Amino acid sequence: MRIALLTEGGLPQPYGDASAWCDRLVRGLAGQDFEVFALARAPGEVPGGRPELPPQVRAVHILPVYGAPPADGARIPRRRFLECYQEFVAALTVRPDTSALPSPAPGLRHGGPRTLNGGAARSSTDQADRFAASLYGLAELAREHGGLPAALRSETAIRALEAACRAPGAEPLVGGAQVRDLLTASALLERALRPLSVPWYGECAAYEASYAAYEAHEGGTLASADLCHATTGGPAALPGIVAKRFCGTPLLITEYAVRLREHYLGEAASELPTQVRALLAAFHRLLAGEVYRQADLITPGNAHVRRWQERCGAPRTKIRTVHPGMDAGPLAAVGEAAEAGLLDADELTLAWVGRAGPDKDLVGLLHAFADVRKEEPSARLRIISADVEERADDRGGEDTANDGPSPECLDSCRALAAQLFPDEAADAVSVGENPVSFEEVGSPYVPERADAYAAGAVVVLSSVVEGFPLSLVEAMFCGRPTVSTDVGAVREVIGGTGLVVPPRNPRALAEACVELLRDPERRARLGAAARARALELFTVEQNIRAFREIYLDLVAHREPAAAETDAVPFALPAEAHLPGTWTGTPGRPRRGPAWAARGEREYA
């Protein structure tokens, strides 16, 4: 089986949104052939030499989607391009539910949405149809003529974008776009549409001549793949929906972090003008909806991601949750010791493990611990920072930026701990000690990550924002009872094997911690149940097994393209291969080989 893996900033780079997950998947499916089609968003994502990849990766194709495009030299029919592009920018600029769009351009080969009230398209569905029709129209132009970059940055395209922004019923945010905003938006839209202009969809001499500067295209194409597997529902999936449209290649979408949400958060912090951000947001929203509609199957990593996909138009019948896989090997020893009752952790110690940041609400945890100390004066809290590979692809969420622990956050928490809990000494000659300690994985007292979870009788998660909680799953692998806030996919992960409390509620967090600290038998039961659940649902092995089954199912049910119909076994009756005419069964007319080759079935 040949799998085309569509990534954005992932493989073949040793970093990126989905690099670790992709690497585990490819190495686990050693019996398949993979070919990577990657979008590089920055110069650092284009490796100088071929990175070390498993042998089942047969070829790697990288498309830079930054900077100026190469001089393509393609001659695009101006009128047809203008018709498609006008429809495209109209879909980006219109207000879906309150504005009127003109009727679709007559030259669009794929047609537009059905219109209401004499040509007015007033629903978001109509806007999505308009976007899809124009997008495939542009893809067909690129497929026929070898590329669109020059046309997308031309004066014709900029004037069409300006007219759409100034049109009646346009989104007010884009109505005030100035010339510099239009130039910036046109350049960014060209980069977003650059995957339409690469030789990934079949043989085309115009493609090869235009994009020879990008890569020496060796290996197969998306047309010859058995399956396209996109690791995000964003721009990386754009080649997948084009390949499905023109080649009939099945498309699988896997998201452990919502690409659309990442775009919203990233653009909100960018310095781009408001008008440009509004245009890009509309593009990514409409692209995500079209990707979800065209996908044969969508596999979110958790319910949090699934809700986003459904709000963007993903049909529920196409969604199947596949939890991210994690390597339980380094934590196995602690888990086995916990099951056997051999861990010697202090029974009145709470442990927090993760990256310090505002979203982790360590301030709320410290105030909750103050309430715990009122009930259990001997209780201790160990805050252990773990600067490890804790990225969105590993936990299937987008709760934390991909940087290290926040020193400012840790400093403020240390100051608060010193204020809330003065140093205590056992007697008049002992050195005082604070009941709250701040440690790091790799220190003499916590040499490995597994030791961090073994340090406490109860593991606490106090986040106010969370995607897929990696630290919580690791605590479950270690057989530790947990108290967590009800955010992100926490409740889905816990599944009744730990205590869950509302976020930003220190009193509820304290009560749950005291409840478990006072009940060792319940801690043991919850810890054993948590470990069993984690080993069943969240290992690398279950993740790879799930995708192996999905691959086989999608390829087995693939509908052949029109060009492949004659090659399907038993698609034609045996008589079709005989010369001359033949007589059918009683009640059927006489037909010749030409009729049989067309596959018609007419009864008398």
Give bridge partners of residue 60 from the DSSP assignment: 36
What is the C-alpha radius of gyration for the chain, rounded to an integer number of angstroms? Answer: 29
CA separation for the pair 73, 81 (Å, rounded): 15
What's the DSSP call for residue 570?
T
Nearest C-alpha neighbor of 245 from the set 157, 358, 137, 365: 137
Q: Is 495 left (phi over 0), alpha (psi -120 to 50) or beta?
A: left
Supply the pLDDT for residue 178.
92
Supply the pLDDT for residue 425.
67
Nearest C-alpha neighbor of 339 from the set 203, 509, 506, 478: 478
Q: How many CB atoms lie within 10 A of CB 34?
A: 23
Q: Which H, E and C letters describe 76-108, residue by residue?
A: CCHHHHHHHHHHHHHHHHECCCCCCCCCCCCCC
Residues 6 or more apart whose Cβ sits within 8 Å of residue 428 = none
DSSP 172-229: HHHHT--HHHHHHHHHHHHHHTGGGGSS-SS--HHHHHHSTTT----S--TTT-SEEE
Supply the pLDDT for residue 88.
97
Count how many Cα atoms sit within 13 Å of the Cα of residue 344 in the half-sphere of its side chain.
Answer: 0
Q: Which amino acid is at 333?
A: A
CA separation for the pair 102, 134 (Å, rounded): 14
The SS3 call for residue 417 is: helix
Supply the pLDDT for residue 558.
78
Question: The CATH number of 1-66+222-325+540-568 is which of 3.40.50.2000, 3.30.465.10, 3.30.200.210, 3.40.50.300?
Answer: 3.40.50.2000
Supply the pLDDT for residue 292.
96
Nearest C-alpha neighbor of 575 from the set 583, 563, 567: 583
Contact 440, 332 (CB under 8 A): no
Supply the pLDDT for residue 424.
73
Residue 15, token pair as written in the block:
């970093």
Give yes or no for a cis peptide into 12 (omega within 30° of 0): yes
Q: What are phi and psi of 380, to 5 degrees?
A: -130, 155
CA separation for the pair 377, 358 (Å, rounded): 28
Nearest C-alpha neighbor of 159 from the set 191, 175, 177, 182: 182
Question: The CATH number of 329-538 is which of 1.20.1250.20, 1.10.420.10, 3.30.420.40, 3.40.50.2000?
Answer: 3.40.50.2000
CA separation for the pair 142, 211 (Å, rounded): 12
Q: Is 456 left (phi over 0), alpha (psi -120 to 50) or beta?
A: beta
CA separation for the pair 141, 148 (Å, rounded): 8
Give per-10-residue mean pLDDT for the chain (604 aa). Answer: 86 56 88 91 62 82 85 78 96 70 50 38 75 95 86 94 93 90 95 91 56 52 92 93 93 91 83 93 95 96 91 93 91 88 82 93 96 95 75 41 66 93 73 87 92 94 91 95 94 94 97 96 95 95 95 85 50 53 44 39 34
Residue 202, token pair as written in the block:
């079949």
Helix-strand-coil percent breakdown of the chain, rounded to 5? 45, 10, 40
Distances in Å between the Cα of 18 and the Cα atoms of 264, 288, 362 are 19, 18, 28
